Structure 1
């Protein structure tokens, strides 16, 4: 790394030039961590790693009028390395030119880690021949050497991409690859126009468990970026009444789970005698919110068993839905009464 801002506040870096070969490893231009109220402006950075990386414990960071390239772009993260908790919020990146980099603007979190990254704005960004211009990567694994692949639980919320334009040297120009456990929510795509760098090329988008809104121009299109407002409203009803049906009749994203007398779940106490539900209608889009609620309940033995059963059933539902096979999974849950769901953290 060239310049590190750590355990500091009220820092203003302006007018700096940082250069390193594009193939040099671990040569971040400026790295920020455990700091707040940091401003980086009017600078030129070209390295073999992130031009600017914003690590955990960073709050109220403003990056503007920076030229980045070559390198790995401007990143929030990586977050959650070495089993640490990630906390990042109030980040603004604007009026930046990024060229010939491996990534453009990126949020990256390690797998199976915890915390949050929220209120992040990328605005007035211009890309020139950039790979992965817009990317949220919640399955980050440096050099692909992670021993076990798990889903990250870092909660990414309120991330806005506004007035972002340019060209992509990779086919996937917008990649929102969010956690299977905790969905990205509050994603805003507003007047984003990214075209292929090569004439005759194609640019596409990829969304996994990302939810938000698209306004104005969106190129390439993000057809799978769904608004979760309705699902969350139904979920709040579910919280009040226990395991009652989440009714989403006529929706294609619904899996109907008929109750049976017993559900075989690995690790579940064999002596537990589950009473069956009636038909349980579950919106897969609201599954992450539902699971997040359950994780906040009391730690009583009964609640632990019920959470375990619910988590396993949720996984089975998600797997069945992803296979697009018959939209039916047999299972039952220990009966959840309303008072079991009333105590919130």
Structure 2
């Protein structure tokens, strides 16, 4: 027997040991990742069950009227979630309407138009906005933004739209400074860096050859952005918008400072209002009685459901976009 034939069993044994070691590490890695995914589902289910159990007394007492009643009176224990739901949806919607065009515009400027030496400083400045604590935004909104709106912006808007059907009621009332519009502006500033950063990152993933080809056939920067960059990255843009919307829906402290915390619904954007998060933050420590506490937990359950539905709709929209792109 030759030396090569004598060494063959040892080589095969070493190879088999290596394969078994790789298979073991792969199975361990697979098990850990699967356990992490299951843990996320367990935590999500635990949160949902806890919220439902804590809110059962309020839901069984008031029924469906809890969602359609504006009254919120802890003295008589009459609770309705309509006003906080209205404030949450309106402030988040206005914030997104303001932040999305600004965020996409800033991202386009940073990736397509900004001089190269300024890209990094401006990008870092935008990202630093995301690191400011929400309570700082609230203090700034209460002591700086709200007085400015009260003395300058709101009186001007009220006088301009006075007597115009529809707009007069939308911008009516005394200029409080605080209210739906002020909290929406604060939320827009808070979600702007998230939308901008994600949009800028996905814009950077566009292959340069696509843009160069478009420029080569005579397209302008606007045409390249509109017909190449945005269609190529629309799924990422949608993800950034949904992340910003989720932040706006759940924001608490900044909104609590400037929204006015009034449990009523008004057509005017200048009127004080409240949100689900602000109501829970303001009243949970002072809740006396099981029904009061259960009503606040029910508000948390409603916010959970609203966020889940919005994210589910966003996911469905992304799937439709993928399907159309694939087709």
Q: Shared fold by TM > 0.5? A: no
Q: Which has the higher strand share?
A: 1
TM-score interval, normalised by the smaller of the two chains: under 0.3
Which structure has more relative contact order (CA 8 Å, sep 6+)? It is: 2
Structure 2 length normalisation: TM-score?
A: 0.22
Larger Rg: 2
Q: Which has the higher helix share?
A: 2
Structure 1 length normalisation: TM-score?
A: 0.21
